[in-house]
Structure 1
Amino acid sequence: MTRTISALAEIGAQYDAVLCDLWGCLHNGIAAFPEAVAALQDYRAKGGKVLLLTNSPRPKSQVILQLDQLGVPRDAWDEVATSGDAAQAAMMAGQFGTRVHHIGPERDLPFFTEMEPDIRAETRIERVTLEEAEGIVCTGLDDDAAETPEDYKGRLMLAKQAGLPLLCANPDVVVDRGEERIYCAGAIAELYTALGGKSYYFGKPHPPIYDLARRRLVALGDIPKERVLVIGDGPATDVKGGIAEEYDTLFVTGGLAAAQTGTETDPDPGKLAAYLEAEGLSPSHAIGRLR
């Protein structure tokens, strides 16, 4: 049964490390959440380790720069693992060919150039037109402020006819940027699959990103799985993935599912129970906002 808590500190002593989501938990794409920052700082001050686990298609170095810009201090976390990192590993292994067509904004171009030492390989990847491509790398929409997945239907139909595999560097379908809900790479991959194409995912809730997180967590100490807590607001990504990987999971209800769970400060007990039953999810804990 899911237990609703009011602060991470209520259960923090049960865990030696947390795998904490970013967008919707620690920031909203515009600014950091002060209470969430304080909660992670307090957890670390008491000896806990914080690995930030995000479906961002950006490599770790770029996510750290973004966190700095959003006002997340570096004493709130120990390590970072991104969907972009896990997807880079697959790309550099040649799983999508060496000539790829990129769908995504220019700000995501570091995906092709900036890689951590545990990702780098000798494979030379070339970005090409759709007609020349052996595969597609999708990091998002070219203009997520103005476009929807339907704007890509024609391009995706051509890709499907050519039999191109699609690497989805961010399985999130939507995120909330401030008060605006925007589409992510997962929405493009979802449409491609619906059209008959083959999409491959490397972020939450899929295993590759958790494998990467475990490898990076080892550097922080020998931490048993039962002493690790997954924190996230995405029911289909953070919560589903944490449960599937057999981690205790803290569902932040005030993010993507705020309306469905009746969350203002805390979730409405009846709405939360009904929502979890409808979604077939059973997180260990729930909290309105990370604090």
Structure 2
Amino acid sequence: MGATTLITVAPTGAESAKADVPALPVTLEELVRTAEECEQAGAAVIHVHIRDDARPTLDLARLRDTVQALRQSTNLIVQLSTGGAVTDPYEDRLRVLEAEPDGCSLTCGTVNFGDDVFMNPWSFMVELYQRTQQLEIVPEFELFDLGQVRALHRLLDKHGPPYGGHVHCDLVMGVPGGMPGDTRTLVAAVEALPEGASWSATGVGRTSLPVMYAALATGGHLRVGMEDTLTYAKGQPVTGNAQLVERAATLARLAQRGPMPVDEARAFLGVKASAPA
């Protein structure tokens, strides 16, 4: 089997409002439909934020219902966000794991996020990481700048490998306050990663395409979606998440590393076999 590209879709996020972005999936029905379309288009992982009446929420019952619904309707790897919104308290972000997802995000440090601050102090990182190990949930290490790569090394050195045994990172690039979305920075970040780690890259906003091209050119994987990108081209709003997945899949095929099938992605990431919904 030739090399393939892991495509993650992040369909909603916690920042954009439905009133401003009508195509944003915010209800459970919209999210499930989006997931089905994105799986068909080539995604293997769905990175999930949920809403309550269009507002971001970490309500545990809703999270459980979401995980179950996605498992019933798709074969996608369900990765819940533990970042939530920048205002969410740490205890709520830790409780996300009780919804029993396949995976979760784990951000390796605090970062200025536009006009806000996304808080991830060391003690929170450690507690979240140890809970993922205990609950057998695969973390994806979210890295917003090069200092966070060093924090990841520290976390692994002090607390051992993640559940599943494989370190997979996502380089989040182009956030105001984080590392820029350019090739030079991507290469520097990749060279600093732990030995044997795999990685995806996310280009926020107008860095979306440059980061995608750079990731494919350097052997990386891709995360796309309306959490990160709302404009398909200048003056052309995104019509839906599947549009972004289809573009990523097309570019991956042009790079001769087509989309990674979900079952292959489970083995690659060290995720448990899909549990019955």
TM-score by length of 1: 0.32
Q: Higher Cα Rg: structure 1 or 2?
A: 1
TM-score (norm 2): 0.33
